[in-house]
């Protein structure tokens, strides 16, 4: 039976990937700068292999982000080995923002200066997600 990666390692790895993709850097280029293979970078990004403190410091410098950046957004409830997994729940990992569409959406959203417009967009996304959930469970709302 394969060991499940630690949720914090997965989160840190996903943040490494997010920052690397935002900068347009390849796994190979990051790996070369770190003195590891691109396969090792893949393992870091998936959380399969843990990133040691000195390696995280090097990644931080190469990706021009403070070490704390890689922990931002980590669920506060993640205390202990694998919280939430006992119920079969997968902890939140921001996979969406590392996709091409997610990155495009994030960049475009960041350009919107008006906080009211940003709030309306977030509300719209929640409404679309809710309607999708209702459609998948067969609970179609009559307002759609």
| Of the candidate ranges 1-5, 16-20, 40-44, 82-86, the one whose mean pLDDT is the lowest | 82-86
Q: Same domain for 54 and 122?
A: no
Question: For residue 105, is it within any domain?
Answer: no
Question: For residue 103, is it within any domain?
Answer: no
Q: What is the mean pLDDT of residues 8-29?
A: 92
Q: Same domain for 14 and 81?
A: yes
Q: Same domain for 91 and 122?
A: no
Q: pLDDT per residue over 75-101, tens digit each?
A: 664 444 444 444 444 444 456 666 777
| Residue from 76, 81, 80, 14 nearest 51 by CA | 14
Asked if pLDDT for residue 45 goes beyond 90, the answer is yes
For residue 90, the model assigns a pLDDT of 44
CB contact at 8 A, 19 and 7? no
Measured CA to CA, the distance from residue 109 to residue 107 in angstroms comes to 6
Asked if pLDDT for residue 123 goes beyond 80, the answer is yes
Q: Same domain for 23 and 66?
A: yes
Task: Give the pTM.
Answer: 0.60
Asked if pLDDT for residue 33 goes beyond 90, the answer is yes
For 20, counting Cβ atoms within 10 Å of its Cβ (0-12 exposed, 13-18 middle, 19+ buried), the class is buried
Measured CA to CA, the distance from residue 19 to residue 69 in angstroms comes to 9
For the chain, the domain total comes to 2
Q: Same domain for 92 and 143?
A: no
Q: What domain range is 92 assigned to?
A: 7-98
């Amino acid at each position: 039976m394969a060991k499940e990666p630690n949720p914090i390692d997965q989160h840190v790895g996903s943040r490494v990937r997010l920052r690397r993709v935002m900068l347009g850097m390849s796994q190979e280029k990051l790996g070369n700068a770190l003195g590891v293979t691109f396969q090792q970078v893949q393992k870091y990004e998936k959380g399969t292999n843990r990133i040691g403190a000195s390696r995280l410091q090097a990644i931080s410098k190469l990706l021009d982000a403070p070490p704390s950046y890689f922990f931002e957004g980590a669920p506060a409830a993640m205390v202990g080995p694998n919280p939430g997994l006992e119920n079969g729940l997968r902890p939140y990992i921001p996979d969406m923002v590392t996709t091409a569409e997610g990155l495009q959406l994030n960049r475009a959203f960041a350009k919107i200066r008006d906080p009211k417009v940003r709030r309306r967009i977030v509300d719209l996304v929640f409404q679309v997600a809710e309607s999708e959930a209702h459609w998948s469970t067969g609970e179609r709302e009559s307002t759609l």
